[in-house]
C-alpha cells in the first residue's frame, strides 16, 4: 500500500481527528516558526534543560540527545520518527549518529519542507520522509531498530493502536521511546476539566493517557522492560517559557482574532499554550518519557 493510500484509509477511519491534526499544523505554521523554532533544530517539541544547558535553542537540541540516549540509538540502526514534523529530530539523528531515519507525518506540507531541508543539508541519503499515519503504516514487520515518538502520540485517538503498530515494526531487541504529556489521573476538579478541555482542543489532542494506561498499553502488546520516567524537571523551564510567551502575546492575539486576522485554530493554539502550564501547576499532568524493548 502506498503512503498516500495509507493516509486515505486512516482519514476514512478517523475523519474528525486526523483532519483536525492536519488543519492544526497547517494553520499554526507561522506561530511555530516565529515563536519557537530556529533554522537549526526545527523543533515543535519542548526543550530539556539540565546543567550546562541554558539557552532555548540548546535545550531543544538537548531533547534529541537525551532521548537518543534513553533509546540506546546505535550506529547502523534504522529509526522510525513517528510524527516527525518538519524533520528536526530525524535530521539531528542522521547528523549525530550513523543511522538511517524514516520520518513520517500525515501533514503534506511538513513532508515537502522536511525533504527540502534534508536535500539542503546533504542528508537525503540517510533520511527519508513520507506522508503516513503512524497508527497504520505501510512498512513490513520488523523494519526498524528504534521507534521514536516525541510529543506526537498525544494526537492519537487510541494510544493502544500506536503501541501495537510500534511493536509490529520493531525488530527483536528493538527499542521504543515516547516523550509525552501524561495525565496524573482521571478525576479532575471541574475547573481543571474546563482547562483540560481547552488545552486538548487547542492542540488537537483527543485525550491524554495516564502513566498506568501508557504502561499497560505497551505491556499488553508484548513490550518488556517498560518504564515511564517523569521528566518535568527537565522541561519545566521550557513549558514556562511558552506560557510566558502566550501571556505576552495575549492582547495582540485577541485583537487580531476579533478582527478576523487570526483563525480559530491559531487563537486556540495560544489559549492552549496558557492552559498547559496552568494545568501543570495544578498537578493535572506531567512530562513523561517512556522506554520499552521488544524481546
Per-domain boundaries in the chain: 3-29+38-186+206-235+286-293
Flag whether the pTM goes above 0.85. yes
Q: Where on the phi/psi map is residue 224: left (φ > 0), alpha (ψ -120 to 50), or beta?
A: beta
Q: What is the mean pLDDT of residues 183-199?
A: 97
Instruction: Give the model's pLDDT for residue 40.
Output: 86
For residue 158, what is the enclosing H or E element? none
Q: What is the mean pLDDT of residues 155-174?
A: 97
β pairing state of 285-293 and 170-183: antiparallel
Beta strands across the sheet bearing 285-293: 127-131, 100-105, 78-82, 144-150, 170-183, 285-293, 224-230
Half-sphere exposure of 5 (CA within 13 A, CB side): 4
Q: pLDDT tens across 61-93, in order?
A: 999 999 999 999 999 999 999 999 999 999 999
DSSP 39: T
* CATH code of the region 3-29+38-186+206-235+286-293: 3.40.50.150
Biggest distance spanned by C-alpha atoms of the chain:
56
Are 182 and 211 spatial neighbours (Cβ–Cβ below 8 Å)? yes
pLDDT, mean over the chain: 93
End-to-end CA distance of the chain: 28
Residue 9 above 80 pLDDT? no
Q: Residue 248: count other Cβ atoms within 10 Å of its Cβ.
A: 11
Residue 30 above 80 pLDDT? yes
> Smallest Cα–Cα separation from 24: which of 264, 268, 204?
204
Confidence bin at 10 (pLDDT 50/70/90): very low
Amino acid at each position: 500500500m502506498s503512503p498516500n493510500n495509507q493516509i486515505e484509509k486512516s482519514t476514512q477511519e478517523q475523519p474528525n481527528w486526523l483532519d483536525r491534526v492536519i488543519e492544526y499544523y497547517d494553520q499554526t505554521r507561522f506561530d511555530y516558526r516565529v515563536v519557537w523554532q530556529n533554522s537549526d533544530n526545527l523543533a515543535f517539541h519542548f526543550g530539556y534543560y539540565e546543567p550546562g544547558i541554558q539557552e532555548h535553542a540548546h535545550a531543544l537540541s538537548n531533547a534529541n540527545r537525551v532521548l537518543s540516549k534513553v533509546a540506546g540509538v546505535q550506529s547502523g540502526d534504522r529509526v522510525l520518527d513517528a510524527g516527525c514534523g518538519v524533520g528536526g529530530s530525524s535530521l539531528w539523528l542522521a547528523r549525530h549518529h550513523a543511522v538511517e531515519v524514516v520520518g513520517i507525518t500525515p501533514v503534506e506540507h511538513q513532508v515537502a519542507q522536511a525533504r527540502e531541508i534534508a536535500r539542503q543539508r546533504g542528508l537525503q541519503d540517510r533520511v527519508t520522509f513520507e506522508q503516513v499515519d503512524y497508527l497504520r503504516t505501510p512498512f513490513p514487520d520488523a523494519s526498524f531498530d528504534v521507534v521514536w515518538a516525541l510529543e506526537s502520540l498525544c494526537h492519537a485517538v487510541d494510544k493502544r493502536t500506536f503501541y501495537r503498530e510500534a511493536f509490529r515494526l520493531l525488530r527483536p531487541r528493538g527499542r521504543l521511546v515516547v516523550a509525552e504529556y501524561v495525565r496524573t489521573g482521571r478525576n479532575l476538579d471541574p475547573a481543571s476539566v474546563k482547562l483540560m478541555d481547552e488545552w486538548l482542543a487547542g492542540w488537537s489532542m483527543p485525550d491524554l493517557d495516564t502513566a498506568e494506561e501508557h504502561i499497560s498499553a505497551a505491556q499488553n502488546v508484548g513490550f518488556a522492560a517498560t518504564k515511564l520516567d517523569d521528566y518535568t524537571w527537565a522541561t519545566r523551564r521550557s513549558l514556562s517559557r511558552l506560557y510566558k510567551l502566550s501571556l505576552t502575546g495575549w492582547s495582540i492575539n485577541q485583537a487580531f482574532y476579533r478582527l478576523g486576522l487570526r483563525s480559530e485554530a491559531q487563537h486556540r493554539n495560544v489559549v492552549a499554550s496558557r492552559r498547559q502550564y496552568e494545568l501543570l501547576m495544578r498537578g493535572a499532568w506531567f512530562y513523561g518519557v517512556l522506554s520499552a524493548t521488544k524481546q
